[in-house]
């Protein structure tokens, strides 16, 4: 049972207000993030960081993404209940919880085994029904394709071809692409087998997407 006190709820309300002020306007995304106790990913000593709008280390050189980044990417995905979604970079599982709460049928893949194992054990204890995989998500998850939506939560050097191939027609890929310090957020929509439309959004700073179609 997760402890979610008035104090936590108050801090979370203030965080959601901050996300609104920064331009997040999807009420569904704000509501989902307003319901999810982000503090469950923090040890007691670091609890005051849970509702600050910043990334935080989760071990193994990785981070739980900044709430604004989670909100921004989730808003771009525009999840409808029942969408089959692939997340690349499970990490803590926070982004996965947000997507699940919006009704996604979620497949998530993590490169690092200890993080994969921790999250695969933790989220089901909270009642989350998610498909967990371990491996190189830069190549997607061919055995389970196609997907309606794909989200990459690590910075890629280029757009992996496999991810475009594994999108359903009409589906979209949200991915940060750039160098190892700054990446532009892209939304690529698969209009037809031959046509992709590309939208470019603001800059972010992610940990690197490793693997065959990422940073080698």
Return the active site residues: 65
With CB under 6 A as the contact rule, the residue among 19, 115, 172, 177 that binds ligand SAM is 115
Print the SS3 string covering the chain. CCCCCHHHHHHHHHHHHHHHHCCCCCHHHHHHHHHCCHHHHCCHHHHHHCCCCCCEEEECCEEECCHHHHHHHHHHHCCCCCCEEEEECCCCCHHHHHHHHCCCEEEEEECCHHHHHHHHHHHHHCCCCCEEEECCHHHCCHHHCCEEEEEECCEECCCCHHHHHCEEEEEEEEEEEECCCCEEEEEEEECCCCCEEEEEEEEECCCECECCCCEC
Nearer to ligand SAM by C-beta: 26 or 63? Answer: 63
Q: Check binding of 211 to ligand SAM (CB under 6 A).
A: yes
Q: Check binding of 26 to ligand SAM (CB under 6 A).
A: no
With CB under 6 A as the contact rule, the residue among 32, 50, 79, 109 that binds ligand SAM is 109
Q: Check binding of 92 to ligand SAM (CB under 6 A).
A: yes
Write down the least CB distance from residue 116 to ligand SAM, Å.
9
Nearer to ligand SAM by C-beta: 122 or 201? Answer: 122
Binding residues for ligand SAM, per CB under 6 A? 62-65, 88-89, 91-92, 94-95, 109-112, 115, 136-138, 153-154, 206-207, 209-211, 214
């Amino acid at each position: 049972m997760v402890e979610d006190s008035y104090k936590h709820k108050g801090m979370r309300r203030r965080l959601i207000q901050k996300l609104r002020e920064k331009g997040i306007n999807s009420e569904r995304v704000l509501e989902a993030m307003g319901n999810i106790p982000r503090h469950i990913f923090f040890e007691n000593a670091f609890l005051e960081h849970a509702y600050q709008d910043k990334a935080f280390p989760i071990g193994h050189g990785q981070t739980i993404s900044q709430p604004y980044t989670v909100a921004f990417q989730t808003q771009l995905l525009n999840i409808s209940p029942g969408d089959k979604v692939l997340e690349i970079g499970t990490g803590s599982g926070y982004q996965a919880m947000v997507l699940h709460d919006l009704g996604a049928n979620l497949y998530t893949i993590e490169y690092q085994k200890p993080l994969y194992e921790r999250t695969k054990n933790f989220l089901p204890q909270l009642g989350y029904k998610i498909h967990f995989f371990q491996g190189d998500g830069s190549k997607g998850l061919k055995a389970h394709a196609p997907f309606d939506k794909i989200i990459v939560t690590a910075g890629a050097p280029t757009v992996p071809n496999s991810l475009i191939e594994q999108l359903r027609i009409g589906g979209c890929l949200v991915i940060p692409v750039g160098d190892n310090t700054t990446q532009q957020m892209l939304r690529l929509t698969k209009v037809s087998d031959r046509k992709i439309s590309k939208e470019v959004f603001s800059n972010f700073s992610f940990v690197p997407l490793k693997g065959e179609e990422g940073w080698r």
